[in-house]
Chains A and B, each alone.
Chain A
């Protein structure tokens, strides 16, 4: 997994609350047995238009507008990533090129899945997010700098916004760690737990 330190990039605004994972990546793209290649289907229903059986870019959708070309930071509203647990949502965001999503709040399962895929979720107060939406609208090509070690969003002017971060998640993102290796260091503890549980609750083991 790609380690995360600092990202400075164009910000794309997605001005809707409760953006669900069905909207991020619709079900017809969940039939893949691969992790890669989902970026072209990101926000499929909003991003493309069907006309006379032809698929074309929807010019009204933010990712199709020149000002946001190369955006790696997504600015969103509250409860981003709600709904289904599909990890295809962060896979699609990452495959498109997003490394950061900024919003007032995120859904729990989505937030977990992002950490597994090197995507940093930045929680900022709703009034700060509102302010950033205005800044993006007023300044074409608006950029932000997101500094994970410092836990700060920095504007190209002089504003800085601190964001909260779970210490474990921060460590994992900074180092791009694979959890399984880390967990297997506890192999002895897992085995010992299983021995105790086989004694106290044998019905939990179908091979008993």
Chain B
């Protein structure tokens, strides 16, 4: 480990990175290698926990502590770690299948408990590691090896789920949007409590172009809106469109005619309720532009804060256990 006070720690491991050429995971790894050394946390105090999937190879490629966990259970492993070692900075790297199919409830409960962990969900809308079956975020009609007639069902929407779980930090970015992703990762790291980041990640092999609307420079400005706290929701190649909150919900308006910037929804990531954030999360391509940036960033006691108050000190614990074992609700089996 190279982490003395006078040198910038190197978070790159010596392992050969094995993803398919062109994979969006490379772009996310590149950003993490740039962001981690700027956080002031030493590599030996950083832990990356993953589940199963292409994204879950992440811990091998960072010179931190790490654990390639069991499928879907990275949030549970990370919860235990953060509970016993609150001094460590704990990241979870997961994918759409790992987090939303196999381990969906673990994700929900980590978020509602506000465990102080940073969860990065690489969403490529496909099972890549097992060679291209539909995932819980695949869009209806997607033809895959396990859905030759196209997928039948509606997808799950990660941001909506995170907000419904009362997550205190919810954000979205795009793998190859380096500057934006870097800033979102920095914000997630700075948040005290659960930070949930959905990253649109292109699977070059099994679901190429799934996020073309958000990545293709020729069209993306008309299909994504980069939100910022205190700023109106303006978008479009010519910055001539915006999101206005109508009684029926958010609507796209053209600026310069009937509506101008003062008429637009102003983003408030610290709002008392997550109602508006849910509306923004509900803006989905192709009907609406999709939001990237921090949807919500609020303070709430963390899991460790809350459990500290609920944990008896060691002296009284023994008495409590004795009382439980020898109390009135016990009996002897003859």
Is B a genuine binding partner of A? no
B interface residue numbers (CB < 8 A to A): none
